[in-house]
Amino acid sequence: MWLKIQQIALLGLIIVISVSSLAVADENLFQLLQKKNKQFGDICVSVKEVIKEGLNPKEVTVAAIKMNYSVCLVVKCAIDAGASPEQVIIGALEAGATTEVVTRCAVEAGVEPETVAQVIEREKLPGLGYTPPAGPGPATIMVGIPGGGSGGGSISPSGF
């Protein structure tokens, strides 16, 4: 019993440390972009510099867009820096940009439309070979016969 409690506590500690380090990494990236932006006075140059320093283009794209910079500007600058178009597109989508905006921005930045379409289609799918279950169909409506009973007979217009 005591061993189980220790294992659960250790697992909880590992999860807390992992989540904390991710939050610190994001915060550090935001701070780095802000620092570079103050240094250069241009977010485009800042994005290019940070990517050239070896930071993950997807994470840089996410951070810059979440800092409220233009999606098209960030996408163009990241691609101009030599970043993988796939990473940049995924980052823009992850930051909350719509597929229409990401498509337009990536194509304007020089990415082939086929490449953009492939990445977006792949990102929209839940997983390879996975088909989401169909939603529930329309509700069945049970309607009884007026009068509540079954009966036979003819209906005559004179009875109305």
The string of DSSP letters for 115-144 reads: HHHHHHHHHHSSSTT--PPPPP-PPP---P
Query: What pLDDT, on the 0 to 100 scale, is given for residue 21?
Result: 36
- Could you tell me which residue, 130 or 80, shows the higher pLDDT? 80
Rounded CA-CA distance 116/124 in Å is 12
With beta carbons less than 8 A apart as the criterion, state whether 100 and 117 touch.
Answer: no
Question: How is residue 5 written in tokens?
Answer: 């409690």
Amino acid residing at 116: V
124 falls in which pLDDT band (50, 70, 90)?
A: confident
> How does pLDDT run across 7-63, given as a tens digit for each residue?
665 555 555 444 433 333 567 888 999 998 889 889 999 999 999 999 999 999 999
Query: What pLDDT, on the 0 to 100 scale, is given for residue 64?
Result: 94
With beta carbons less than 8 A apart as the criterion, state whether 43 and 77 touch.
Answer: yes
pTM of the model: 0.63
Place of tokens 């506590």: 9
Cα 50 to the center of its chain, rounded Å:
22
> How does pLDDT run across 76-111, given as a tens digit for each residue?
999 999 999 999 999 999 999 999 999 999 999 999
